[in-house]
Structure 1
Amino acid sequence: MTRTDRLYALMEELRAVAPRPVTVPVLARRLEVSERTVQRDLKALAETGAPVYSATGRGGGWSVDPAMTLPPIGFTPGEALAVAAALAAAEGSAPFADGIRGAMRKIAASLSGQALVEAHELAAQIVALPSRLDPTVRGAVEWALTRREVLSLSYLDAGGRTSEREVEPAGLLAAEGRWYLVAWCRLRRAPRGFRLDRIRAAAPTGQAAPRRELADLLGSAATGAVTPAVLDSLAP
């Protein structure tokens, strides 16, 4: 069993009984390795952000939060390369990009043989210009969207004028390689699209935002906008 296989097996052992903990001796016996190896692997999983944690005291051991992890996903080599290329293009410039490097490490760990060779060749053929999107701004937008909070922002418009606004986020629009926050602008009392790389500063206010339908706010401003086909499988 390779180390990658062992890490996957270790996660599956923890997931199978979660949230109940499993002791290191039990894990070592099931995986047929030493307790020291299990300890080292658990530490490696924790360092990569896997939701594993130790519990002390009687009945202690290691456990995984079932709500914070997904079962393993089996990619074909072609799917893995396609996802790798898409992640490389999105890193730093797309919303919710912070998880990209972790996702890429997991995809790389799942590859072997010719697929791994092709992935290495692909990596050598992709370059990108640095993103102009402030990661602090991106994080604030992500927070406000997922928690439905009013967002305070400083925005630089196409004419070079800066304004301070409070907006009620409704969703995101991707258009011609750029990302826009679609929101109800309290200053203008109307729907507006804010180009993410023109937002100079942003911070959630902690105030709950009313639910607004993205399609209603888009109106005629984005005629023909549709949910990307790649997201169809996530539709309710």
Structure 2
Amino acid sequence: MNRTDRLYALVEELRAVSPRPRSARWLAGRFEVSTRTIERDIAALQAGGVPIWAEPGRTGGYVVDRAHTLPPVNLTAGEAVAMAVALHRLGGTPFAGAGATALRKLLAVLPAADAAEAHRLAGRVHLIGAGPATPVPASVADAVAAGRVLRLRYADRAGAPSVREVEPLAHLGNPTHWYLVAWCRLRDGLRCFRTDRILAVEPLPEVVRRELRVEELDIPRARIRPLSLV
């Protein structure tokens, strides 16, 4: 999440729980940054006129005036794809049709460039079956969206760790797990890394130039499909 998106999200998080406070430590964990970063963000929001104040004490933290709102914010590409993944799990429920309609309405108001970016990112998400519930590390998701090389510390099925430089190409989800589909430079080939076995992630500045061809995956085409936003 970039800083601008985080600033908006911080205000909306504080609004959602107001008048209860949120501590800097809690917010740091929520947004996966340091407490110092949260303190700088809060200071920037206060300087911009957002009515945030600090409540002292062991159970204190930051509070925002619940009546305060920010101008409407368009969905980011990542937010649109996140909604599509969530809606995929509504299949078979009474709300599947309504959810799909809501997503189409939101996509319709996106600027053309943002909508195109959302579709591009959705094309990098592939699902098998009902889709998984296991989490994907934020740094991995960001690298796929940004097209950046990663250095992974990864444990194989026996628990033996290795360090790999990989070129992230896509997410792959089955009913139990998420996988990072990437070109592994150590093995000089396409590999699927189970995200719950990724022990550490270091984003590198190098840009990924390679694109995934779905036929390269050793999975029958009838079982796999790209995520759709429509």
Higher helix share: 1
Highest RCO, 1 vs 2 (Cα 8 Å, sep ≥ 6) = 2
TM-score range, shorter chain: 0.3 to 0.5
Question: TM-score scaled to structure 2, two decimals?
Answer: 0.44
Larger Rg: 1
